[in-house]
Structure 1
Amino acid sequence: MVRNESSPPQAHQILELLPHRYPCLLIDRIVEIQRGCVVALKNVTFNEPYFQGHFPDNPVMPGVLQIEAMVKASGILATYQTEFNPQTHVMILMEMNNIKFRKPVKPGDQLRIEVTLLLEDKIFKMKGEIRCGEEIVSSAEFLAMLVPKSN
Structure 2
Amino acid sequence: MTDKSALEKALVAFPGSITSIGIYPKAAPSLIKLTRIRILLNWNDRAVVHANGGYGNLDAFMDDPSALSAVTLRDLEVLKPHLPEHSIKGLRLLHLQCHIGADTLSWWRLGARDVYGLDFFPTSLDYARNLSERADASITYVQGDARYATSAMPE
Question: Quick check: TM above 0.5?
Answer: no
Instruction: Mark the structure with the bigger radius of gyration.
Output: 2
Task: Determine which structure has the larger helix proportion and give its number.
Answer: 2
TM-score calculated relative to the size of structure 1: 0.29
User: Which of 1 and 2 has higher RCO (CA within 8 Å, sep 6+)?
Assistant: 1
TM-score calculated relative to the size of structure 2: 0.28
Task: Determine which structure has the larger strand proportion and give its number.
Answer: 1
